[in-house]
Amino acid sequence: MASEPQLPSADDILRMLMEAEANGGKFFRAVDQETLVGGKRVAKQKVPKLPESAATTIHQVKVTLYGSKPPIWRRLELPSTMTLGRLHHVLQAAFTWDGYHLHVFETACGEFGDPLQDDGWAERQDEETVTIAQVAAALRPCASREFVEAATWVPVPPSVTPAEPDYDDRLERTLRKAFEGYDLDLRALLQQTRSTRPDHCREHRLSCAALLRVIRPNAEALEVGPPRATIVLFDDLLTTGKHYRCCEQRLRELWPRVPVCGWFIARRALRLYSSARPAQGSGIMKNAASLLP
């Protein structure tokens, strides 16, 4: 005859509740130390102090509608002291939107949004309390000084050659600003032998084979000497990965034993759906914005 299951005593129940509370506390403390950025959990950072130079500097911000083909994007030059709240209104004007949808900025310092759109449970901070400069400054801790100084940093070459008036060196300027004071080995080891039309201006994207033909080593940069222990290819946005693959192939042809990796600083701001009608041209509700000093 089977015996009846023994019910837990009051002391057993109390002990189980205390253990559950302790374990739950550890879980929630761990969650509080992380934040969600672009679908991935990253270590949450404190909001940096506003740099003294922010009053006299601007940030170049590239905003691309996530998933748009061909890419739909805007490049904006904004005061470094502009708050994320003001940035939201600038984005509305840049894309001719009318603010019919909820929005949130996902950053390494946590989420920021409009307090009037608070859903009551998200730990969202007021977007008017933080500036572009402060969010951009949070990029620096993403790579340790040891990692930065052990690598050779190579910006992905732009689609125009240095001889052209539209040549854009913002990637080099970004790295110099981000790692100011470090022993930074920054070299344009690669360059395009001729200018090409950007993919977003083409009906059909440039093929990998065609791009590879125009990406060549920069003889002047090679004269400095061999690279450090690791080569880091740096770009402000990763879409198809074509430029990265072509650049990686050229670098491996030069140094087959040196590891090559990519470092991209695109910050995705996810736009939340609401029951209101969509604004014109805003069928895609996600955008990627890279903050470039």
pLDDT exceeds 60 at position 293: no
Residue 279 lies in a domain: yes
- Two structure tokens written together for 17: 């509740």
Task: Please check the confidence at residue 25 and state whether its pLDDT lies above 60.
Answer: no
Q: What residue numbers bound the domain in which 83 lies?
A: 52-139+268-292
* Same domain as 223, residue 163: yes
Reference 287, options 46, 120, 83, 76; nearest CA is: 76
Q: H/E element holding 260?
A: strand 260-264
Better-predicted residue by pLDDT, 270 or 24 = 24
Same domain for 167 and 248? yes
pTM above 0.75, yes or no: no
What rounded mean pLDDT belongs to the chain?
77
Give the residues across from 269 on adjacent strands.
287
The verdict on 94 and 132 lying in the same domain is yes
Find tokens 């003001």 and name the residue.
86
Do the strands 190-192 and 215-217 form a parallel or antiparallel pair, or are they unpaired? Answer: antiparallel
Instruction: List the structure tokens of 233.
Output: 């290819």
Q: Using an 8 Å Cβ cutoff, are 158 and 236 in contact? A: no
For the stretch 217-240, pLDDT in tens is 999 999 999 999 999 999 876 567
Whether residue 236 sits in one domain with residue 184: yes
Domains held by the chain: number = 2
For residue 44, being part of any structural domain is answered with no
For residue 235, being part of any structural domain is answered with yes
Q: What is the pLDDT of residues 47-65, one digit of tens each?
A: 878 877 777 888 888 888 8
CB 243 within 8 A of CB 205: no
User: Which of the two residues, 115 and 32, has the higher pLDDT score?
Assistant: 115
- Examine the domain organization and report whether 103 and 155 are in the same domain: no
Is residue 6 situated within a structural domain? no
Q: Of 110, 92, 93, 263, which Cα lies nearest the Cα of 102?
A: 92
Confidence of residue 39 (pLDDT cuts 50, 70, 90): low
Residue 82, domain member (yes or no): yes
Token representation of residue 203: 């009906």
Task: Answer yes or no: do 156 and 252 share one domain.
Answer: yes
What is the arithmetic mean of pLDDT over 142-153? 88
Q: Are residues 235 and 151 in the same domain?
A: yes
